[in-house]
Amino acid sequence: MELFSVIIGELFEGFGNTLLLFAVTLVFALVLGLLLAFGAMSKFKPLKYAVAGLVWIIRGTPLMLQVLLVSFIPKYVFGVFTKDFAAAIGFTINQTMFFFVAVAFVINYACYFSEIYRAGIQSISAGQYEAGQVLGLTKTQVFFKVVLMQVIRRILPPMSNEIITLVKDTALAQVLGVMDLLNAAKHAVNQYVVLTPFLYAAIFYLIFNGILTLVLGGIEKKLSYYKV
């Protein structure tokens, strides 16, 4: 029982980093993804093609590769070792590794979210914009007062799938030594020579994803009256 308490305590510490990575990625990727979506729909072709190229590259390469690439940028692009980069930004080595992972995750998920945003926005008929303008509303007013809730309703299911995937992808943080939930479980397995930490970690993931599924399902149900 004492060993169980110790292992669970270590897993909770790792889960804290998992939860932080999830939250940071979700918040920043949702915002950046919307900006990328607007860029992809821009009439300014250089911007449109640049965004399309970025999204194509990010979606076509593994997230783990992107994490490793970001972590090597200071050394191989700027000639700065990780410890010096960490000192320059006032981070510890562990915090710097977390920063690298978070940057890669935000860029990756922003690109996926941007495609969902773009598809949702473009699914709204042009007639709704025209009708709003006939009533004296600007395009911005039509978007926020008429279109936005319809877009949210349409993009919520695919967004929910990506959010659930994000929870599982956080396990990739261990590639840079970040002490996330899975890494904490692996350390516990090696230290105590038992396999149960992996089982406990799986339960953590299942409970977290279960809660998210219920929350996202509840939001989708509340917004169902916007279905068109």
Structural domains in the chain, CATH included, are: 2-226 (1.10.3720.10)
**Sequence-distant (≥ 6) Cβ neighbours of residue 162 within 8 angstroms:** 109, 112, 113, 116
Percent of the chain at pLDDT above 90? 73
Question: Cβ contacts of residue 189 below 8 Å, gap of 6+?
Answer: 195, 197, 198
Q: What is the pLDDT of residue 195?
A: 94
> Looking at residues 213-226, what average pLDDT do you find?
85
pLDDT of residue 225: 58
- Both structure tokens of 82: 């990780």
DSSP state of 224: G
Contact 155, 219 (CB under 8 A): no
Q: Which of 134-138, 148-152, 188-192, 217-221 has the lowest mean pLDDT?
A: 134-138
Q: What average pLDDT does range 160-185 have in this prediction?
A: 97
Work out the pLDDT band at 65, boundaries 50, 70, 90.
Answer: very high
SS3 state at 72: helix
CA distance 167 to 165: 5
Number of Cα atoms under 13 Å in the Cβ half of residue 41: 15
In the structure, what pLDDT confidence band is assigned to residue 94 with cuts at 50, 70 and 90? Answer: very high
Structure tokens, 92: 């510890």
Which stretches of the chain are assigned E, i.e. beta strand? none
The mean per-residue pLDDT over the stretch 170-184 comes to 96
Q: Please report the pLDDT score of residue 224 as a whole number.
A: 76
Question: Looking at residues 1-13, what average pLDDT do you find?
Answer: 92
Radius of gyration in angstroms for the set of CA atoms belonging to the chain, rounded to a whole number: 21
pLDDT at residue 221 greater than cutoff 80: yes
pTM for the model stands at 0.92
Looking at residue 203, what is its pLDDT?
98
Give mean pLDDT, residues 116-133: 85
Rounded CA separation 185/114 (Å): 33
Task: Average the pLDDT over 68-95 and give the result.
Answer: 91
Cα–Cα distance measured from residue 188 to residue 224, given in angstroms and rounded to the nearest whole number: 44
Q: Report the pLDDT value the prediction gives residue 1, as an integer from 0 to 100.
A: 74
User: How confident is the model at residue 136, as a pLDDT?
Assistant: 79
Give the model's pLDDT for residue 60. Answer: 97
Length of the chain (residues): 228
pLDDT at 126 over 80: no
Which residue is it, tokens 């809730």? 149
Q: What is the mean pLDDT of the chain?
A: 92
Predicted confidence (pLDDT) at residue 214 exceeds the cutoff of 90: yes
**Interatomic CA distance for residues 17 and 226, integer angstroms:** 36
